[in-house]
Amino acid sequence: MPWTSLCELSELTENQGTYVEIGGFQLAVFLSAGKVHVLDNLCPHAGGSLAGGHVEEGCAVCPVHHWCFQLDNGQIPGSPGVAVRVYPTRLKQREGAGTLVQA
């Protein structure tokens, strides 16, 4: 699988969403407990931007109606089948530069 660079690690704020659009994909990127998570940006409930949300108890919280999506699997706790897509991530250190977030 080819990796795509999304942003610099320094552009992320702990427990706050960051919006990234790349190749037609709208993504929400979160840094939580030092780990980066990438989810589809749109909440399936009302199309809210998850990137405008925050992290609470290991979940990305939609700012529109407060639906909560687990960062590790995209599922809503207690609601099987209701989820957003989650993408694998890695950090790539660049010599003489910052760290890239890739998905």
Give tens-digit pLDDT for 46-88: 899 999 999 999 999 999 999 999 999 999 999 988 999 999 9
- 2 pLDDT more than 90: no
Domains and CATH numbers, the chain: 12-87 (2.102.10.10)
Q: What is the pLDDT of residue 1?
A: 64
Detail the DSSP E strand segments found in the chain: 5-8, 17-22, 25-32, 35-40, 54-56, 59-61, 68-70, 75-76, 79-83, 86-87, 90-93, 99-102
